Amino acid sequence: MLELAIGIILGCCALGAGVAMVAGIGPGIGEGNAVAKACEAIGRQPECKSQVTTTMLMGCAIAETTGLYALVIAILLIVWAPGRLVDVLMTAIG
């Protein structure tokens, strides 16, 4: 029974991490849009290249935030959560 409980904890942690990384879709689409528009802007006005690039990098960094939240959650779920949850289970059993 204990093995089953620990197995469920480990499996659900891994599953949760995988599901959390679905959030990677959003930043992917968003940054793709941003870079596409930046390319258009550079094509129209090549003399503004450095400014457009800087602004684009900033925008990409901010658009990436949601993806990074998901990444941090996934890392915590894989690295930190299983041991902690197993500890909680053990103390509950006594």
Where along the sequence are the contacts to other proteins (CB under 8 A)?
57-58, 61, 64-65, 68-69, 71-72, 75, 79
2/68 with CB nearer other proteins: 68
8/62 with CB nearer other proteins: 62
Taking the complex as a whole, the smallest distance from the CB of residue 92 to other proteins amounts, in Å, to: 25
The DSSP string of 8-66 is HHHHHHHHHHHHHGGGGHHHHHHHHHHHHHHHHHHHH-GGGHHHHHHHHHHHHHHHTHH
Taking the complex as a whole, the smallest distance from the CB of residue 65 to other proteins amounts, in Å, to: 5
Q: From CA 84, how far away is CA 94, in angstroms rounded? A: 15
